Amino acid sequence: MSTASVTSAVGTLSERFGDRLVTNAAIREQHGRDEGWHDAIAPDAVVFAESTDEVAEVVRTCAEHRVPVIPFGAGTSLEGHVAAVRGGISLDLTGLNRIIEVNIEDLDCTVEAGVRRKQLNDRMTREGLFFPIDPGADATIGGMASTRASGTNAVRYGTMRDNVLAVTAVLPSGEVVRTGTRARKSSAGYDLTRLLVGSEGTLAVITEVTLRLYGIPAVIGGAVCSFETLGGAVNTVIQTIQLGVPVARIELLDEAMVGAVNDFSGVQLPVAPLLLLEFHGTETSVGDEAGTVEQLASANGGTGWQWSTGTEERTRLWQARHDAYYAAKALRPGTKAFPTDVCVPISRLTECILETRADIERSGLVAPLVGHVGDGNFHLLVLFDEDDADERERAIGLNQRLIERALAVGGTCTGEHGIGYGKLEFMRIEHGAAELAMMRTIKSAIDPHGIMNPGKVVPGR
Amino acid sequence: MSTASVTSAVGTLSERFGDRLVTNAAIREQHGRDEGWHDAIAPDAVVFAESTDEVAEVVRTCAEHRVPVIPFGAGTSLEGHVAAVRGGISLDLTGLNRIIEVNIEDLDCTVEAGVRRKQLNDRMTREGLFFPIDPGADATIGGMASTRASGTNAVRYGTMRDNVLAVTAVLPSGEVVRTGTRARKSSAGYDLTRLLVGSEGTLAVITEVTLRLYGIPAVIGGAVCSFETLGGAVNTVIQTIQLGVPVARIELLDEAMVGAVNDFSGVQLPVAPLLLLEFHGTETSVGDEAGTVEQLASANGGTGWQWSTGTEERTRLWQARHDAYYAAKALRPGTKAFPTDVCVPISRLTECILETRADIERSGLVAPLVGHVGDGNFHLLVLFDEDDADERERAIGLNQRLIERALAVGGTCTGEHGIGYGKLEFMRIEHGAAELAMMRTIKSAIDPHGIMNPGKVVPGR
C-alpha cells in the first residue's frame, strides 16, 4: 500500500463522510488500541459509519485504492484485533446501533453490529427474554460474532457459533451478503454464517446479526463450594456434565485468585480451589440440580457448600467471580494484565492447570487463574511490568509454554478471545499445514487484494 | 470429462484396489441410488476404501484424471446426493467403520466416516453414553455430517452442526486436513469444521468425525396429547420453549397422519393434531417438566394427555411416531413417497401448515405430515404414482409452492435433508446472488477442477 493510495482513499471518504471521517491523532490512536497487552497501531483515519450501505461505500472505496479496512466496535478485544498493522481505515460501527427486529415467539432478534450486549439485554428484559453470551466486557454484538466470543454461560447456552442464526455482511467487493435465515436449522448449502463468525473481519465486515434468545429463567440459583484439591473440583464438574445436569455456569478460581479476592474484597474464603455455579429453571429443577451437584462435590472433597435462589444472596456468593479481574490486578497495582485463553478437553484440565501452576512458580510471575471450567477453558491473568523487558519476556514465555501444553493434550490456543495479531504465530502450531493452506485459500479467494483486516487470523495473509 | 479419462482412472484404481474396485452394473446402480424419489444415476465404478490413506489415493487418482468422486455411506440420503450426475467414481466408505477413540470423561469420541449411528450407540450404551442425533435412518456418521443431519432430538441436542467437534477430510488435492480439536470451543481461525459439515462431499471427503456425546439420562419420560386445533398444538410448543423447558423431543402429527396411523396400527387416536413429547432428566425434573407442558397443553385445547416414565408404556405412547412413515406409505401401497423438508420460524408454522393443507386438498394428493415442531421443521410424505406423469408433476408443484411459502416467512427449503441435486434449483431462490456467488467462490477455490461430487449443492458448479 502506498502513501498516495491512502491519501487518495482518505480524500474520497472525507468528501463523502465529512466530519464523520476523522484523522485526529487521539481518535486514531484510540481506534488502534484494544484492551489487551499488545501494542496499539493507529489507523490512517477513522470513518464513523451508520448503515450497511455506508459500510459498503467505505469498503468499495478502500478496495479501489487497495487500502486496508479494520472494523471497530467497542474496542474490547484482547489480541490486537483492531490494530492497523498495515495502516488503513478503521471502520467504527458504533453508529450501527439499532435493534432492528425482535421476534418474541421465535426467540430471535436482528440487531446492527454496533449494538452492545448490555443494550440488547436491557431491551430484552422488557420481553422476559435474554441473550446469554457474556464475555465480561460490554462488547458489541458484531465484535462478539467476529471473534466467536463466549464466556461464563457457554457451558449451557453455547458460544456465538451456536447463537448466531444469520448475518448481513459487506464483502471486499462492497457487495452485501445475507447468510442464513431465521429458521432454527438448515441444510441448504455451505454454512457461510459459521464461516464469518470468528473470521475477525478478515473476510467481510459484519453489519447485522440475527441471534437466538432465551426466556429469562423463572428461578436462578447460585452456589459456591471450596475444594481440598483442584482435581476434586474438576472431577465434580466432569461428573455433573456426565449426569446431564444442565448447569448454566460453572466457574473455577484457583488458590491464587481466591487469595487475591480475599485481599481485595475483605472476604475470608478458604484459600483453596473454589467452584461457583449457577442453575436456571424452576424452583423444583434448580433445587434438584443443586442437590445433585452438592452430593458430587461432597464426594470429591468439597466443603462449605452454600447456595441460594435469592437475588441478593446469589450476588453475594458470586461476588468473588465478579471481583476476580480487579482483585487480580490489585495484586500488583500499575502492572499490565496479560490474559491467556487456552481451552482443553476437560479430562486434561487438572494436569494442565497443575503443570501450569508449577511453571508460574518457576517463572516468578504472579498469575492467578479463573476458568470456565465446564468448557475446559481457563484464563491466567499474568501481571507484568511493562517497563521490565525481562518480566515481559517471562510472561510471553509462560503463555507460549501454556499453549504448547494445551495443544499437546488436544486443546486450542484460544477458547474465546480469538487470534488478532497477538496469537498469529500460534496458528502455525495449532493447525496442520493443510488446514492453514485451506484457510489461506479461502482468504485469498474471498479477499484477493487482502484489504480486510490484513495481518490477522491467517498467517502469511 | 472424457471417456478416456474415466477409463484410465478406473484402470489405475483397479490395479491398486483389485477386487475392491467394482464395475458390476448392479453394484454401480445401487451406489447411484438413495432413498429419495430422484432418479438414480450410476457411477462408472465403485471403490471400496478402508482408510483415510486409501481415500486420499482414490481422490488423487481422480484429480489427476479430472474424474468426479462421489462419497457413499449408507445410501440413505434423500435428494440424490449419491447420484453420479457427471459420472465418475463412487467412493464407498463403509469399510471405514472403526470407532477410533472414546473419551468418556470428555464426552467425545472419534469415529471413521462409515460407522453407522446404531453401531455407535450400541457401543456407547456400554459406557452409559449416547449420541443423540437421530435422522430415523441408520445412516453413517460421515453421511450425517456431510448433510448436516438432525432429527427428533435436535430441539434439545442440536444438529450435526452443533455436535461435530472436528473432522478429518481428504481435499481435492489428496491432502488430508484435520479441522478443529477436542476442545469444546475455540476461536482459533476459520471454522473449517462447520464449512465441511453440510458440504455434501463437494469440498472434501470426510473420513473421520469427532463427536460430542451425552450421558444417558437417568429417567426418560414420554407423553402424548391431542389438540382441537393445529394452532393450539403449535402454541403449546412455543410456550414450552419460551419457558425454557428443556424438552428432548416434540413431534407433531397432523390429522391425516394420525388417521393413517390408526388404520395401520389398529389404534384409535382422536383424528386431530397430535403432539408427542420426550423428557430427559431425573425423576423430579422430568415430572416437573411434564407437569408444566401438561398445563400449557390444557390451556391450548389439549386433551387426552398421557405420560409415563416406564420404558414399555413410553414406547407404546410413541408408537404412532415410530409407525408414521410406514403408516403413511400404507395409505397408497406401491406408490413412491416424496419427502418434503421445509423449516420455518415457529411463529409462522401454523399458517404455513394450514396453507399447505389447503394446497394439498386442492392438489388432490395424499400427503400426511410429521414435524420436528420444536425446530419449525416438518415433512410431508407426498405419495405419488411413479408411472403417473401428471401426479408426479402435481407432487413436484406442491413441494415447489411449499418451499416458496417457507422462504416467504424467513424459512429454508431444507431443515435437515440437504440439497443433493434434487433441491439444486431452490438454492437460487433461497439465497441471494451475493451469497450464491460466495459459495461458488469457495467451491472453485477449494475444488478448482470440480471433481468433488459435482452437480450438487452449488448451482452452476
In order of their start, the domains of chain A are: 3-92 (3.30.43.10), 99-215 (3.30.465.10), 217-331 (3.30.70.2190), 334-420 (3.30.70.2740)
Could you give the CA distance from residue A224 to residue A203 in angstroms, rounded to a whole number? 42
Residue B461: per-residue pLDDT: 80
Residue A418 has pLDDT above 80, yes or no: yes
Could you give the CA distance from residue A458 to residue A423 in angstroms, rounded to a whole number? 10
Chain A residues whose CB is inside 8 A of the B340 CB are none
Chain B residues whose CB is inside 8 A of the A293 CB are none
From first CA to last CA, the distance across chain A in angstroms is 14
Residue A3 has pLDDT above 90, yes or no: no
pLDDT, tens digit (0-9, with 9 covering 90-100), for A355-414: 999 999 999 999 999 999 999 999 999 999 999 999 999 999 999 999 999 999 999 999
Residue B146: per-residue pLDDT: 98
Q: Which of B177, B198, B289 sits opposite A434 (nearest CB)?
A: B177
Show the beta-strand stretches assigned E in A58-201.
69-72, 89-92, 99-103, 108-112, 129-130, 164-170, 176-179
Of the candidates B176, B192, B20, the residue with the CA atom closest to the CA atom of residue B91: B20
* A176-179 sheet: strands from edge to edge: A99-103, A108-112, A205-212, A164-170, A176-179
Q: Which of B176, B203, B414 sits opposite A187 (nearest CB)?
A: B414
Contact A148 B410 (CB under 8 A): no
Q: Does B59 touch chain A (CB under 8 A)?
A: no
Residue A460: per-residue pLDDT: 87
What band does B460 get if pLDDT is binned at 50, 70 and 90?
Answer: confident
What number of CA atoms fall less than 13 Å from residue B417's CA on the CB side?
30
What number of CA atoms fall less than 13 Å from residue B114's CA on the CB side?
17
pLDDT, tens digit (0-9, with 9 covering 90-100), for B115-132: 999 999 999 999 999 999
What is the dihedral sign for C-alpha A419, A425, A430, A432?
A: positive
Could you give the CA distance from residue B294 to residue B311 in angstroms, rounded to a whole number? 20
| DSSP helix/strand/coil, B281 | strand
Averaged pLDDT for residues A74-91: 98
Contact B442 A444 (CB under 8 A): no
Of the candidates B418, B448, B447, B424, the residue with the CA atom closest to the CA atom of residue B436: B424
Residues 6+ apart with CB under 8 A from B151: B133, B134, B135, B136, B372, B416
Contact B185 A105 (CB under 8 A): no
Of the candidates A253, A241, A242, A273, the residue with the CA atom closest to the CA atom of residue A371: A253
Contact A183 B411 (CB under 8 A): yes
Question: Which grid coordinates are listed for A391?
Answer: 518480566
Residue B338: per-residue pLDDT: 93
Percent of chain B with pLDDT over 70: 100
pLDDT, tens digit (0-9, with 9 covering 90-100), for A183-228: 999 999 999 999 999 999 999 999 999 999 999 999 999 999 999 9
Chain A nearest C-alpha distance from B193 (Å): 9
C-alpha dihedral (B396, B400, B401, B406), degrees to nearest 10: 140
What band does A248 get if pLDDT is binned at 50, 70 and 90?
Answer: very high
Could you give the CA distance from residue B31 to residue B74 in angstroms, rounded to a whole number? 9
- b vs e for A273-310, b when ≥16 Cβ sit within 10 Å of the residue's Cβ? bbbbbbbbbbebbbbbbbebbbebbeebbbeebebbbe
Contact A192 B148 (CB under 8 A): no
Residue B412 has pLDDT above 80, yes or no: yes
Q: Which of B191, B288, B457 sits opposite A189 (nearest CB)?
A: B457
Q: Are B314 and B221 in contact (CB under 8 A)?
A: yes
Tell me the CA distances in angstroms from B368 to B129, B256, B273, B350, B382, one per residue in order: 34, 5, 11, 15, 7
Chain B nearest C-alpha distance from A38 (Å): 18
From first CA to last CA, the distance across chain B in angstroms is 14
User: Could you give the residue ranges of the DSSP H alpha helices within B333-383?
Assistant: 349-363
Of the candidates A30, A33, A34, A28, the residue with the CA atom closest to the CA atom of residue A10: A28
Q: Are B384 and B397 in contact (CB under 8 A)?
A: no
Residues 6+ apart with CB under 8 A from A218: A281, A282, A283, B243, B244
Q: Are A348 and A310 in contact (CB under 8 A)?
A: no
In the stretch 332-371 of chain A, residues with CB closer than 8 A to chain B read 341, 343-347
- Chain B: residue whose CA lies nearest to A173: B434
Q: Which residue has the cell 474438576?
A: A234
Contact A345 B195 (CB under 8 A): no
What band does B1 get if pLDDT is binned at 50, 70 and 90?
Answer: low
Chain B nearest C-alpha distance from A165 (Å): 11
| DSSP helix/strand/coil, B327 | helix
Count of beta carbons in the 10 Å neighbourhood of residue B383: 23
Tell me the CA distances in angstroms from A300 to A226, A229, A238, A240, B192, one per residue in order: 10, 9, 11, 12, 38
Average pLDDT, chain A: 96
Residue A1: per-residue pLDDT: 61
Q: Does B177 touch chain A (CB under 8 A)?
A: yes
Averaged pLDDT for residues B99-107: 96
Using the 8-state DSSP alphabet, how is residue B217 labeled? P
Average pLDDT, chain B: 96
Residue A2 has pLDDT above 80, yes or no: no
* A377-384 sheet: strands from edge to edge: A302-308, A219-227, A274-281, A249-253, A369-372, A377-384, A336-339
Averaged pLDDT for residues B41-61: 98
Residue from B203, B278, B438, B443 whose CB has the most chain A CBs within 10 Å, to mutate: B438
Question: Which grid coordinates are listed for B207?
Answer: 473420513
Chain A nearest C-alpha distance from B48 (Å): 25
Q: Does B415 touch chain A (CB under 8 A)?
A: yes
Q: Does B106 touch chain A (CB under 8 A)?
A: yes
Tell me the CA distances in angstroms from A172 to A56, A91, A114, A392, one per residue in order: 9, 13, 19, 37
- Chain B: residue whose CA lies nearest to A444: B445
Chain B residues whose CB is inside 8 A of the A246 CB are 246
Tell me the CA distances in angstroms from B313 to A144, B221, B224, B310, one per residue in order: 46, 10, 11, 5
Question: Which grid coordinates are listed for B299?
Answer: 390451556
Could you give the CA distance from residue A59 to residue A425 in angstroms, rounded to a whole number? 28
Could you give the CA distance from residue B275 to residue B263 in angstroms, rounded to a whole number? 18
Burial class (CB in 10 A: 0-12, 13-18, 19+), A257: buried
Residue A367's identity, in one-letter code, is A
Number of CB pairs < 8 Å for A and B?
A: 302
Residue A422's identity, in one-letter code, is G
Averaged pLDDT for residues B255-272: 95
Could you give the CA distance from residue B282 to residue B29 in angstroms, rounded to a whole number? 49
To which H or E segment does residue A294 belong?
helix A283-299
Burial class (CB in 10 A: 0-12, 13-18, 19+), A180: buried
Chain B residues whose CB is inside 8 A of the A218 CB are 243-244
